[in-house]
DNA sequence: CGCCCTCTTGAAATTGTTCAATAGAGGTGG
DNA sequence: CCACCTCTATTGAACAATTTCAAGAGGGCG
């Protein structure tokens, strides 16, 4: 019986979340150094893995919806997740994209304050909230780590508010590409031909723009030679310096 | 010698921060129940007050600037503080207004990620960061409180991103007034004739609009009878239901 | 190989900005 | 206490950026 026997049902998107318990999944975890698990020793990892289960989501599969009982928190181990809020008439604001190593569900409320959905095929570690909270009592390191994560998210959120409130479409797009590049490097991947797994619509909903405006901004940057659009959702930041100049302080 | 002998030098704005140490200031604190001090008993309050000092800022006085060494964290006890980020060319995004009971400076970085400045005459409690961190080791309740505060701020930040990215000027303005009203009630003050201490420019920089657009939105809401503009920075939410309808999900 | 969905491109419409001028409010000094 | 002065708010008109509406092109999957 294989240890990592994630069943492959999730290609059929939007698919239902698949899950599975697992004996020692953390030892092979490629993102442990960046997650809430980072400060834990192997004995503590055993404790946290005891309350953890795995979830696999196909592209487009929902993880949870805003307003739903917030029973779990998650750690992304592979793929891309988007987190968003809706207005009553359906307008959508994506408040963040999550990549491997990112933590999800920090809000200390009864219900989720946002919805979460897979952009691509994704794997996550799931922790029942009440169990993680119990564990935090014994391992204050986890709580400290969460505070540190929350602080970083707060800084990022303010940066995003600056972008949404004060940057032009062109500046927003440049900032977005640099953000993707930076985060790709943070998790040890290439920073230059950067993978852009999400649709133009998703990018627009993240930047407070329409699909069309995002498309035009990409086209303009491409025609100037600042970026190159490559196959397979790859974008080359041909002139990173120019991009940084345009983005203005990212 | 009076216990609360804050010297009155701050009328001359932009004034330099005034400060003063104090023996037992917390006992008279009117916002203790909402701050980081909330979970502490009187013995613990003594400990935290030992590392605290008071700061008074006149209207317009800066508290700190983005990029500055982040040596202190603060608790607002009276007045209004604005927190903002700037683009290289001077465009400004106000990422939050802080009122009595609010905590400031949570970011766990070497330097402040934003600037802070008094909107009105304000009083704050100041804690040297390294001392507060040392105290947190002994009083994990404080750390838990900070995590709870950070979570709430994160939820608010996402709400603000939805506003900035997807709401119209009219919707933003309605949301803003409701936010002020809600927070006024949270600290036990009237929710209806709400005080709007900040300028139209500040409101614009908070909502991602210009002064003129904010002014026009106020005028329109006034002419419809949804709000009434009263003297002394007061606004009556004559038709709160309509305002909520316009704001859309606040 | 073809179909469907996403992306791109164009033109018109709209929202919000910019520029400009007036009105109002608060504070100061006579 | 009143008049003045300055800063803020309001209003108007022209302009610009982005959105909306509408086709067409491209790419990936079955």
Phi, psi of A153 (to 5 degrees): -65, -35
* pLDDT at position B109: 84
Instruction: Show the CA angle centred on residue B157, arms to residues B154 and B158, nearest 5°.
Output: 90
- pLDDT tens for residues B103-116? 998 877 899 999 99
Q: Residue A249 is encoded by which pair of tokens?
A: 């302080």
Sign of CA dihedral B107, B112, B115, B121: positive
Interchain proximity B109–A160, CB inside 8 Å: no
How distant is C1' of D3 from CA of B225, in Å?
A: 35
Higher per-residue confidence, B94 vs B39: B94
Split chain A (250 residues) into runs of 10 and give each run's mean pLDDT.
38 43 69 87 88 94 95 95 97 97 88 96 95 91 92 96 98 98 94 95 98 98 96 95 88
Q: Is the pLDDT of residue B198 over 70?
A: yes
Q: Does B207 touch chain A (CB under 8 A)?
A: yes
Cβ-Cβ contacts under 8 Å for A198 (sequence gap 6 or more): A80, A82, A97, A119, A206
CB of A149 within 8 Å of a chain B CB? The answer is no
pLDDT per position as a tens digit, B151-192: 999 999 999 999 999 999 999 999 999 999 999 999 999 889
Q: Give the residue, B124 or A5, on which the prediction is more confident.
A: B124
The per-residue pLDDT for B15 is 40
Question: According to the model, what pLDDT value does residue A77 have?
Answer: 94
Pairing of strands B92-98, B81-86: antiparallel
Strand C, nucleotides < 7 Å from a protein CB: these are 6-11, 15-20, 25-26
What pLDDT sits at residue B34?
85
**Which nucleotide minimizes the distance between its C1' and the CA of A207?**
D18
Q: How far apart are the first and last CA of chain B?
A: 47
DSSP annotation string for B45-79: HHHHHHT-EEEEE-TT-EEE-TTSB--EEEEEEES
Q: Which are the contacts of A105, defined by CB distance < 8 A and separation ≥ 6?
A: A70, A72, A73, A74, A112, A116, A129
Cβ-based contacts of A88 with chain B (< 8 Å): 248-249
pLDDT (0 to 100) of residue A7: 38
Query: Residue B62 pairs with which residues in a beta bridge?
Result: B117
Q: What's the sign of the alpha-carbon dihedral B121, B191, B222, B249?
A: positive
Residues facing A74 on adjacent strands: A104, A126
Residue B1 has pLDDT above 70, yes or no: no
Of all helices (H) and strands (E), which one includes residue A90? Answer: none
Tokens (6 digits) for A105: 């569900």
pLDDT at A51: 92
Residue B39: pLDDT band with limits 50, 70, 90: confident
| Alpha-carbon span B100 to B79, nearest angstrom | 7
Would you say A37 and A48 are in contact if contact means Cβ atoms under 8 Å apart? yes
Smallest Cα–Cα separation from A200: which of A126, A44, A94? A94
B240, two tokens:
């709160």
- Chain A residues with CB under 8 Å of B92 CB are 166
Cβ separation of B147 and A108 shorter than 8 Å? yes
Q: Does A66 touch chain B (CB under 8 A)?
A: no
pLDDT reading at B13 higher than 50: no
Counting Cβ atoms within 10 Å, is residue B117 exposed (0-12), middle (13-18) or buried (19+)? Answer: buried
């Amino acid at each position: 019986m294989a240890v990592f026997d994630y069943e492959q049902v999730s290609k059929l998107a939007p698919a239902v979340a698949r899950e599975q318990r697992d004996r020692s999944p953390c030892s092979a975890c490629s993102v442990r150094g960046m997650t809430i698990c980072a400060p834990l020793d192997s004995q503590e990892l055993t404790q946290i893995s005891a309350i953890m289960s795995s979830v696999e989501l196909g592209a487009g599969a929902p993880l949870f919806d805003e307003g739903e009982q917030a029973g779990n928190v998650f750690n992304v181990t592979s793929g891309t997740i988007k987190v968003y809020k809706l207005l009553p008439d359906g307008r959508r604001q994506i408040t963040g994209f999550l990549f491997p190593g990112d933590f999800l569900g920090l809000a200390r409320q009864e219900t989720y304050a946002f919805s979460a959905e897979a952009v691509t095929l994704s794997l996550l570690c799931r922790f029942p909230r009440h169990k993680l909270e119990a564990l935090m009592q014994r391992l204050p390191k986890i709580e400290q780590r969460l505070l540190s994560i929350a602080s970083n998210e707060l800084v990022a959120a303010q940066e995003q508010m600056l972008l949404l409130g004060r940057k032009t479409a062109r500046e927003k797009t440049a900032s977005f590409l640099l953000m993707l590049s930076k985060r790709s490097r943070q998790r040890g991947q290439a920073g230059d031909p950067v993978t852009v797994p999400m649709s133009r619509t998703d990018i627009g909903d993240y930047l407070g723009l329409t699909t069309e405006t995002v498309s035009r901004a990409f086209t303009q940057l491409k025609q100037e030679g600042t970026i190159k659009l490559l196959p397979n959702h790859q974008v080359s930041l041909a002139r990173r310096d120019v991009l940084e100049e345009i983005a203005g302080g990212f």
